[in-house]
Structure 1
Amino acid sequence: MSSSSTTRHSPHRQARRGTTGAYRLVRTLPGSVDPPLLDAAQRAVVDHPGGPLLVLAGPGTGKTTTLVESVAARVAQGTDPARILVLTFSRKAAVELRDRMAARLGAVRGPQATTFHSFCYALVRAHQDADLFADPLRLLSGPEQDVTVRDLLAGQLDLEKQGHAHIRWPDELRACLTTRGFADEVRAVLARSRELGLGPDALADFARRTGRPDWSAAAEFLAEYLDVLDAQGVLDYAELVHRAVLLAERPEVSALLAGQYDLVFVDEYQDTDPAQVRLLHALAGNRGSTPGGGGGRNLIAFGDPDQSIYAFRGADVNGILDFPEVFRRADGGPAPVGVLTTSRRSGDRLLEATRLLTRRMPLTRLPSAKVRAHRELGAVREGG
């Protein structure tokens, strides 16, 4: 391996020639980078005195820089990095945040930056009942879940032909049980049910109230599906978050988490689903409340309500729209809303074109002045 190829792919390592002529890898600590120049809107977020805060941040507005600088400011003020939690939605984003925080803080150990699912897995694993599960719980991949659902549906069809079926699907759906499309629909119902905190009994009650025999059958299928997963010692991603929420809402676990983290950051908050919002409320919404007040915990969420595009996987834009009311200040008032108002990615001509569209968009439940500021970005450079 040449020294040039080693240093190119491993920026924090250097290849040095030893006495025998062979190369060896030597880890070098990254040096801290100089703090960036922040605009007034970014500085207001970094200087937030405490409590919940929602930051409206569109593409190219310096959101990640603002988040990293907020973390650096808290560490400089004496907060232990281990008591700061940063949550995001993809492994790639989590790695980028860890790298940027490490570079900004230099030799100081950075805070935990992880995905929601990784955090949930660690929480469930830490409280896993050793008597029930000898081995660590395994996460079910998407293809594995698809196979499991299709096998269960096919098995039900076989039982029905033998006159032993215990799940009664409506006649108009019975011919679809073995199709991939129907299995996908069932998977979606299972996932959305768990994201909303619904178990088989609650889903069955809802089906009866709404007169939906297909949902009643889905409730029975959900019970069987969960039994199969438990027998195999596996969890799908929706069930993982659901169980983490149930754990985090237990008083003793909630107290433990509240004592573990002083500050929680969330990136891409518009992509949260109801279960993840409940998890955040357990993490940062309960401690320090006053009668009639909110939790008052230090929770800073960055998001763009005009960019919520993951409804197909359970994301609910109401999470960001309801943030000020759900995560209230300790005095009971709604959480404040900040706005990053400068685009560093798009030129003024492109921003002028986007304004022609955003001016026709209805205002959301968030403060109207903040939404307008979020949509009327200023440019740092001219051109397209």
Structure 2
Amino acid sequence: MEDYLQSLNEQQLAAVRYDGGPSLVIAGAGSGKTRVLTNKIAYLIANGYDPRRILALTFTNKAAREMRERIAQLVGEELSARLWMGTFHSMFLKILHFNSDRIGFNSNFTIYDTSDTKSAIKQILKDLELDVKDYPVNSVMSVISSAKNSLISPDDYLADSDIQRRDYYAKRPRLGEIYKGYWARCRNSNAMDFDDILFYTNILFRDNPDVLEKYQNFFQYILVDEYQDTNFSQHLVVQQLSRVHNKVCVVGDDAQSIYSFRGADIQNILRLKTYYPGLETFKLEQNYRSTQTILNVANSLIEKNRNQIPKRIFSMNAVGERIPVVKAMTDYEESFIVANKIVEMKMLESGSYNDFAILYRTNAQSRLLEECLRKRNVPYRIYGGLSFYQRKEIKDALCYFRMSVNPNDDEALRRIINYPARGIGEKTVLKVRAAAMEWSVSMWDVICEPQRFGLELNSGTARKLNGFREMIQAYIDLDTDGKDAFQVATMIYATSKILSSLYSDNTPENISRQENLSELLNAVQQFVDEVREKGESDVSMTDFLSVVQLATDQDSGDDDDDSPRVTLMTVHAAKGLEFRNVIIVGVEDEMFPSMHSSNSLAEVEEERRLLYVAITRAQEHCLITYATSRYINGQTHPCMPSRFLKDIDSALLELPRNPNTWAAPSQNDFEPRVRTRIVPRQQKPEGFVPVRKAVAEAAPSSSGGDIDGLRVGARINHLRFGDGTVTKIEKEPDVKITVDFDNMGIKVLLLKFAKFKIIG
């Protein structure tokens, strides 16, 4: 046996050495799939296959690079360099360049990136006299991408009555025209976008049998990584190319199929045997990453999915401890518990912050976690994204907040003067800026008195600038009148349309922006509540912005700093990674599974797979947390633990030692509760008639706690801080109580603003 095969286990070795036809390697989490792929390619080369006739397809350049490096270590760089190895797009782009004349392109065609595509679609919308508010560019791009990945041409799109009916009811009946216009623009420009690469490859093979036959004969062996992530066009092109030699090996794990929003179709791997009748299946079930208990939890969860290839991953590592399920009273308490737990575990294990990862379902959840980690001086990094206050939509909203307290802030004004779009173009902004510089005043001064500063405008532009001035002035007046930060923020959300303008576009990226903006409103409300409970009167927008600035300054450290840090990321971003200690937060219904993904069995099963991916990132310790209440759009709403927790064998979960802290979900926790999603109303800024109403709706609704029955030693449940014991009561001049909270430490609260109930 070749030396490099000695390290493989029995299942891995069988998969590597099989050469009898098509094969499927089901690679469970942490089972060494990359080792199998690289060793199989080395084995094929060692057994006479020409590396130039081996096609190996991956989803990322990083994966292709790492595989090539490993293969080079096994067979040498010269042979490794000859492989047709790379991403789907890079490999088939080569084929298109060789055969561009067959599909009506010159060989020097260019590839549009995302910004090129956006620019082209914006121009098409303008040509068709369509409003971007009715046809959001990102949403249009998503529709076109989905059509191409399904191999639907513009003519097919327009001829499909079901598609036309769907677009009609979505109030976007002209999507087909936009698609056709974009298609024509690309053709006329001798250009393709990334989706076109696979689209035209399939067209090339369909319309040119001689070209297809050439490549079918040329590629003796085809290997595909992460097959569960393939879409229809990728699946079809592999199927077409493998028909002559029938030598194809696909590696993947249906239990880790979590990218349907990108077009991935789990059926490609589940039904592979129908496409390759002689398919041989190998299951890699030995996990080299996690403890057996962590794997038992993952197995217990995923076995509840109906649509799956049965498998049961196991480990030769230690059995490991049961997984604690931590019940927090609030989302704030949850984040505080997580921060404290990390500090505690690091001290006990003498470990590194690099050993910890916090996984969440949505980007918006990072805000409270970041805040509590900062308070405990725990360094952290946001993997694959920006910290909360660095995100574009948050910066946009903060600029509105800044304008309400300092309208002379030119940087803030320039950022939001035409966001959301209100018809104030760049030329107008430059005119305003030039006048401000000439007179050494702020841009706001010029907008307020354009004639005084010699700003010449046509009537339409003057009207738009005046509408902007009235809107900002209304916010200034609220702040001047002493309204608190939450009241001002609510008014800004209601009338500026920074949130409502996002509702028409339901792409995953846009939904994330909506969630982030809602979380910012939560931050403002929590700030107001906390300051009031301390007995302080200053809860203005200026005070909130001061707190945010401190947080932003801490976030803007050296990005290249490689010092140990806790990693924060979404579960989607965590796929393929591993950490010694993993904490999964917000495991609640409508959060996990997401409220956007609970309409069908297929969606719920993908959410279950997502939690499976989260759990199997952990090597030694895994912790699951949930909250029984959470701020949503500035209001507190009850939450119930995720239905997925009921899927897990309770014997594998750590039962509570302290019922107020380490609580496993009881049966009552799973009883449905009414939970309403509050969405700020869309209101027009003209005239600002709704100002008083919006402010009134944002006024504090609680009159605070009741002193009746309150005594030293009493147990209370606080809306934000959870359970605690009253240790002191002061009655002059205003009643204050000192409470030792179970998880939040000692707090001094002003009774008339404190939101709690006595529980014992």
TM (normalized to structure 2)?
0.39
Q: Secondary structure at the match of 1:136?
A: coil
Task: Tell me which residue corresponds to 2:259.
Answer: 310
Displacement after TM superposition at 1:35 (Å)? 4.2
Aligned to 1:22: none
* Amino acid in the other structure paired with 1:155: D
Shift of 1:61: 0.4
Secondary structure, counterpart of 1:222 in structure 2: helix
Report 1:344-359 matches (<5 A): 344-359=288-303
What per-residue deviation string (whole Å, max 9, x for no partner) do you get for residues 253-294 of structure 1?
Answer: 11111121110000000111100111111111x226xxxxxx
Q: By how many angstroms is 1:299 displaced?
A: 0.4
Question: Matches of 1:180 and 1:236 in 2, distance apart?
Answer: 24
Q: Partner amino acid for 1:221?
A: I
1:362 to partner: Cα distance: 2.0
**Equivalent pairs: percent with the same residue?**
26
**Partner of residue 258, structure 1:** 216
Q: Over the residues paired in the alignment, what is the CA RMSD in angstroms?
A: 2.3
Distance 2:212 2:17 in 1: 28
Matches of 2:196 and 2:134, distance apart in 1: 21
Deviations 1:56-85 (A, max 9, x none): 112210101111111121111111111111
Q: Is the 8 A contact 1:344 1:379 kept in 2?
A: yes
Distance in 1 (alpha carbons) for counterparts of 2:45 and 2:286: 26
1:280 aligns with 2:238: yes
Q: Which amino acid aligns with 2:210?
A: E
Contact 1:324 1:337 in 2 (8 A): no
Query: Structure 1: which amino acid aligns with 2:54?
Result: I
Task: Report the Cα offset of residue 340 of structure 1.
Answer: 0.4
User: Residues 65 and 223 (structure 1 numbering): CA distance in 2 closer, same or farther, change over 3 Å?
Assistant: same
Measure, in 1, the Cα distance between the counterparts of 2:163 and 2:135.
Answer: 27
Q: Which residue number corresponds to residue 102 of structure 1?
A: 72
Deviations 1:157-191 (A, max 9, x none): 1xxxxxxxxxxxxxxxx6xx314972111111111
Unaligned runs of 5+ in 1: 1-31, 158-173, 289-296, 330-334, 365-370
Q: Which residue of 2 aligns with 1:379?
A: 315
TM-score by length of 1: 0.76
> Counterpart amino acid of 1:309?
I
Q: 1:131 to 1:264 in 2, by over 3 A?
A: closer
Q: Equivalents in 2 of 1:125, 1:79: separation in Å? A: 26
1:92 to 62, 66, 81: 62
Residues 205-354 of structure 1 aligned to structure 2 (within 5 Å) = 205-207=159-161, 211-212=165-166, 214=168, 217-249=174-206, 250-284=208-242, 286-287=243-244, 297-329=246-278, 335-354=279-298
Q: Which amino acid aligns with 1:307?
A: Q
8 Å CA contact retained: 1:84, 1:261: yes
After TM superposition, the structure 1 = structure 2 runs for residues 12-161 of structure 1, keeping only pairs within 5 Å, are 34-106=4-76, 108-110=78-80, 111-129=83-101, 133-134=105-106, 136-157=108-129
Q: Which amino acid aligns with 2:91?
A: F
After TM superposition, give the deviation of residue 109 of structure 1 in Å. Answer: 0.8
Q: Which moved more, 1:200-209 or 1:45-54?
A: 200-209
Question: 1:35 touches 1:104 (CA, 8 Å); kept in 2?
Answer: no
Residue 372 of structure 1 deviates from its aligned partner by: 2.6
The answer for unaligned runs of 5 or more in structure 2 is 321-619, 621-760
Task: Give the Cα–Cα distance (whole angstroms) in 1 for the partners of residues 244 and 217 of structure 2.
Answer: 9
* Alpha carbons 2:28, 2:283 under 8 Å: kept: no
The 1-side partners of 2:211 and 2:98 are apart by: 11
Cα distance in 2 for residues equivalent to 1:84 and 1:101: 13
AA in 2 matched with 1:141:
D
User: What residue identity is the alignment partner of 1:121?
Assistant: L
How big is the shift at 1:211? Answer: 2.9
Q: CA deviation at 1:304?
A: 1.0
Partner of 1:196: 150
- After superposing on structure 2, the runs of 4+ consecutive aligned residues of structure 1 that deviate more than 6 Å are none
Q: What is the alpha-carbon distance in structure 1 between the residues aligned to residue 112 and residue 124 of structure 2? A: 15
How far 1:216 moved relative to its partner? 5.4
For residues 28-55 of structure 1, the C-alpha deviation after alignment (integer angstroms, 9 at most, x for no partner) is: xxxx984451111111101213211111
CA distance in 2, matches of 1:136, 1:328: 40
After superposition, the C-alpha distances for 1:345-384 in whole angstroms (9 at most, x for unaligned) are: 11212112212212322243xxxxxx332xx111121133
Judged with a 3 Å threshold, the aligned counterparts in structure 2 of structure 1 residues 321 and 61 are, in CA distance, closer, same or farther, namely same
Rounded Cα–Cα distance in structure 2 between residues aligned with 1:379 and 1:101? 26
Aligned partners of 2:233 and 2:181: how far apart in 1? 22
Q: 1:135 to 1:218 in 2, by over 3 A?
A: same
Asked if the contact 1:262–1:298 (Cα under 8 Å) also holds between the matched residues in 2, the reply is yes
1:79-98 per-residue CA deviation (whole Å, 9 max, x = no partner) reads: 11111111001111111111
Counterpart of 1:184?
138
CA contact (8 A) 2:19 2:247 kept: no
C-alpha distance in structure 2 between counterparts of 1:225 and 1:43, whole Å? 49
| Local SS of the residue matching 2:310 | helix
Q: Which residue of 2 aligns with 1:16?
A: none
Q: State which structure, 1 or 2, has the greater radius of gyration over its C-alpha atoms.
A: 2
SS in 1 for 2:223: strand
Q: Is the 8 A contact 1:270 1:303 kept in 2?
A: yes
CA contact (8 A) 1:146 1:183 kept: yes
